[in-house]
Structures are given as structure tokens and as C-alpha cells.
Amino acid sequence: MRRAAPLLAILASAVLVAAAASLAVGYVPLPLADLVAGLFGGGPAAPLVQEIRLPRTLLALAVGASLGLAGAALQGLLRNPLAEPGVVGISASAGLGAVIALYFGLAAAWPPALPILGMVGAGVAGVLVLLLAGRAAGVLSLVLAGVAVSSFAVALTALALNLAPNPYALSEMLFWLLGSVRDRSFDDLGYAAPFMILGAALLLTAGRGLDALTLGEETAASLGVRVGALRAQVVAGTALAVGAAVSAAGSIGFVGLVVPHLLRPLCGHRPGRLLLPSALGGAILIAAADVLVRLVPTRTELHLGVVTALVGAPFFLALLASLGRR
Amino acid sequence: MLLRTEGVTVRLDRRAAVADVSLAVPAGCLMALIGPNGAGKTTLLRAVAGLAPHAGRITVAGHDLAALTPAARARLMAYLPQRRDVAWGLAARDVVALGRLPHLGAGRRESEEDRAAIAAAMAAADVAALADRPVDRLSGGERARVLLARALAQAAPLLLADEPTAALDPYHQLQVMEVLRAEAEAGRAVVAVLHDLALAARFAHRVALMADGRLAAAGSPEDVLTEDRLAAVYRVAALAGTRDGARWILPWRRL
């Protein structure tokens, strides 16, 4: 386990710093003493800290961790550095599921319907991508499958919002396309968190199989890995983690692409060892991006996906160009 | 017998790619599996590795292959496929360490035994000096030896190697064959698919010749690699002789 422990310690510290910054920054200035007292349920700032800042911070961390982890696991499964929930259309399909639950009254009747339909959408997209792109996905087939699944899901989302009985539904399209963690309550977090945790557990325990898969499916099988079960485990874990994350925060792109790519050299390029650091790195990235959108003086608050796409899309193109050269 | 196949048949697209093959390989034996393209060598090897559904019976060290869990199977045999793909730029040492996966516990922490097996395998395949090099920056010959070390590190009594010398220069072909022979003489059973008749004749203890999915002949290189048989199965005329007590063969012209 060379070099794994120091990296995890550094990332964990950075998660704490990002969380503290996310709690401290907001539209209402808050003295540090009030913030700390508020965290423990006392002082004049308690309602603000407990009901606005804290759920926002926790949701940002959980969503970032889910997306970073799912990206690392998908890349390990498909042996392709471009595999990412957003790029391959899993996030957009999760958004479609969530929109159907939310605007057709299902979530109002039974709140867990929201994350569950999000996960169903993500799971369907995951299976589709696996079928379309093949098991050891080439760069081209993966990107094309992603474009197809993604565009279809976005179009169906727009259609669903158009048909929704709520006249204001379509104005929320932006939220589903670009994501945000503002104005979320502990209830929103509570519906999504158990599924994110379950998904993370599935993905984090896939490390051994993903390491073996580095040598191809047949060698992995000869090393005692049940490859079919591994595939099901990663797709299910991704569906749970990403489906629940998107149903709470909309689809936020590129997190699962940028974070594993930056951390991979620090993990000896081993897909199994990359999983936990990618979860921590995703949490840091989204918490930091969420601080940024509150600091940038725009007329209405920027969506998180705007920040991640501004960073991630050029990154994606650079990565694509470098893969093309090889 | 370490490996025994009894009436093994593999159907691909309803055609019998391997038909009724019965073989026995004892410990301490390097068996060369030879035959023309499409004779079913790789398919037979994949069936033995548990990667191709088949009819008939395969036993490894007395265990019925069909009754083994994947993990137990991985401790009995190592499989080195012909394709040398490595998806990520792992250090060579970490690639070799993947061979220890069947032996690691849930925490995946390497024991002293694991480290010793990895070091021994890297020494045997002559890749100790490459330990920290990223595998995607190695030459073809270096990568082939790193992957061979990966299979050796698995420390299984049976080693299956599919064209381990393909696309290697003569020096490295000889080196890989020497390693395989030494591993056999150290007590493993090794089955290697080979296209190079000269290497098969020179290094193998036993040769199994396949043609059209069937076993055409099996025995010592002298007995199997006769002029008549090469003419019948490969449709080539070959030069042959003996040097330093070993047989050599050179395919010379088509018939």
C-alpha cells in the first residue's frame, strides 16, 4: 500500500477545509463564534446554520463524492479514462427520472419516489451504454454512445417538463441540466443519502476486481474475478450513487472525469486504489465550486454545472486529443 | 497427472472448434500445443482455463474444473493470454503483483510470502530492473516478460501460456522458452501454444499436435514432429536434424 495513506490524509484534510469554507461563506455575513455556536444548535445563528448552511454543505460533499467515485469506477470497468456519468449520459438519464417523479406528482405522494426514479434512469442509461459501447469501450464508441444517450435523455426531460401540469416546470430545466445545491433541506438530503451510501459501498468494494480488469476480462477471470458480477456491481453502484445525487442536485458534469484523472498518477495508476481518493476529491471539488458560486457577484447565483463545465470541458477536449495521438 | 482432459469438445457457432481431445500433462512437463491456424489450440487452452464452455471432463491436480470456484481455480492455474493489453500505466512491479490477487485476503495487504513470490517471479522473467517503470512505456519484449512474471507470481501448479513468444525477437523468444522450461523443471506443469516448430522441438518435453480441432498426435518432439506428419498437417516440407542432443526443425517450402 505504498503512498496511499499520506494521499488520503491530505485529501481528508482538504475535505474538512472545503467544508469549513462552505459553512462560513454565504449571503449573510456570520461571525465565526456564531457559526460554531450555530453548528451545535445554540446562539442567534442556529436556524440559519442548521437549516440552510449545513444541509447545503453536506449535500455538496455527498454529491461530489458520489460523482467522483462513480467516475473512477466506470473508468476502471470500461478501461477508458473518458467514462464519466455525465459524458456517457447517466446523469442526464437520472435527471429525466427525477423530473418525471417531481413534476407528475409521484414525489409529492411518496417522497422516496424522487431518488428511486433517478436511480432507475441512471441504471437504464448505464446498461444502455454498456450494450452500445461494448465491454472494453473504445474512445470513439464510448463518446458516441454517450452523446446518443445524453441527447435523448435531455430531450425527453424537456418534453416531460413541457407536458407537466405545473406551468412553471419548464423554467427549472436549467437546474436539471446544470445542477445546484442551494436551498436544499435536510429532508432532501435524507431521501438521497442512504442510496448514495449504499452505492458508494458497492463501488468501493469493487477495487479488487477493477485492479484485475486492468489486464483484460479473460485474465481477470483467470485471477478468480467473476467479471459478470463485477459489471453488475459497478453499474448498480453507479446507478444508486449518481441517480440519488442527481435527484437532489441536478446533473453536474465532468466531476468524475477531472478528479480521477488528476489523482490517478498519485495512486500508481491502479484503478482500485483510485476509488476512495476520487470520492474525497469529488467532495472537495463540488464544495469548493459551491463556495465559488456564492462569491461570484452575478445577478442570480451561478449553477454548479456552469463552474464544473468551464473547467471540465476544456479538460475533456485535452484528454480526447491526447488519447487520439496515442 | 496435473492436467487431464477427457473427450473435451468446444462448440463455437455450432462448429466443433475442439473435438474430443484427451490429453494428460504431468507435473514437471512443458507441453507445446502446436498446429496450423484454426486448429483449435487457443480454444482448447481457453477451455482448460475455464473461459470457454465445453463438453467432456477437465481435471486439474485431481479437482474437477466444473466444481471449482473461480478463486480456487485461480490458485490452481495461471493463464497468460496472447493479447498483452494493460489498460493503465501501472508500474511493472504493480502489474506483477496482480498475480497475487487470488492469494490476498479481504484487506488486500501483501504478506512476506506475496512479496517473495513477486520478487522471485520478476527475477525469473528478468524484469527486476524494470520494477518502477510504467508498463505503457516498455518495449514489446519487456512488456511480454512483465506479463509472464505476472503469471509466474500467481504461483499456480499449472501455467497456461498462449503464444508467449509471439512478436518477440529471437533473443527474447529463447529467453521466454528457457523460463518456461525452467518453471516446468522446478515442478510446474506448463502448456504453451506455439507456432514456432523450432522452439517446440528444442524446448518442449512433450508436443501435442492439433489439426481441425482434433488431437493428431501427442508424444516426444522426436515422435510427433516427423516429416510425414508435418507434410500431412502443415503442408510443408521441413529440414530437420539434431544438435547438442536436441532436435531442430526448419520449415523449408510449401507442399
Q: What is the mean pLDDT of chain A?
A: 91
Among B85, B88, B98, select the one facing A212 at the smallest CB separation: B98
For chain B, which ranges sit under pLDDT 50?
none
A269 and B CB contact within 8 Å:
yes
CA-based nearest residue to B202, from B233, B165, B236, B168: B165
Instruction: Please identify which residue in the block is written with the cell numbers 497456461.
Output: B160
Chain A: give the shortest CA distance to residue B140, in Å: 15
A139 and B CB contact within 8 Å:
no
A162 and B CB contact within 8 Å:
no
Among B70, B94, B95, select the one facing A221 at the smallest CB separation: B70
Chain B: give the shortest CA distance to residue A265, in Å: 9
DSSP state of B129: G
Cβ–Cβ below 8 Å for A269 and B88: yes
Is domain B3-86+156-254 classified as CATH 3.40.50.300?
Answer: yes
A205: nearest CA in chain B?
Answer: B106
Cβ-Cβ contacts under 8 Å for B138 (sequence gap 6 or more): B92, B130, B146
Taking only the tens place, the pLDDT of each residue in A5-37 is 899 999 999 999 999 999 999 888 888 888 988
Taking only the tens place, the pLDDT of each residue in B120-176 is 999 999 999 999 999 999 999 999 999 999 999 999 999 999 999 998 999 999 999
What is the mean predicted confidence (pLDDT) over A142-156? Answer: 91
Res. A319 pLDDT band, cuts 50 70 90: confident
Statement: residue A297 has pLDDT above 90? no
B200 and A CB contact within 8 Å:
no
Statement: residue A326 has pLDDT above 70? no
Domains assigned to chain A: 4-325 (1.10.3470.10)
Let me know: does A18 contact A287? Beta carbons within 8 Å.
yes
- Burial zone of B162 (CB within 10 Å; 0-12 exposed, 13-18 middle, 19+ buried): buried
Instruction: Please identify which residue in the block is written with the cell numbers 524484469.
Output: B127
B48: nearest CA in chain A?
Answer: A222
Cell numbers of A73, please? 469506477
Output the pLDDT for position A142.
Answer: 83
B108 and A CB contact within 8 Å:
yes
Output the pLDDT for position A325.
Answer: 63
Statement: residue A136 has pLDDT above 70? no
What is the mean predicted confidence (pLDDT) over A207-217? Answer: 95
Output the pLDDT for position B11.
Answer: 95
Q: How many CB atoms lie within 10 A of CB A294?
A: 16
Cα B202 from Cα B50, distance rounded (Å):
29
Output the pLDDT for position B252.
Answer: 94
B107: nearest CA in chain A?
Answer: A208
Instruction: Please identify which residue in the block is written with the cell numbers 488486500.
Output: B108
Statement: residue A143 has pLDDT above 90? no
Output the pLDDT for position A1.
Answer: 43
Output the pLDDT for position B90.
Answer: 96
Q: Ramachandran region of residue B219, left (φ > 0), alpha (ψ -120 to 50) or beta? A: left
Let me know: does B236 contact B250? Beta carbons within 8 Å.
no
B51: nearest CA in chain A?
Answer: A218
Taking only the tens place, the pLDDT of each residue in A65-112 is 999 999 999 999 999 898 999 989 999 999 999 999 988 889 889 989
Cα B31 from Cα B193, distance rounded (Å):
9
Let me know: does A289 contact A180? Beta carbons within 8 Å.
no
Cα B200 from Cα B254, distance rounded (Å):
20
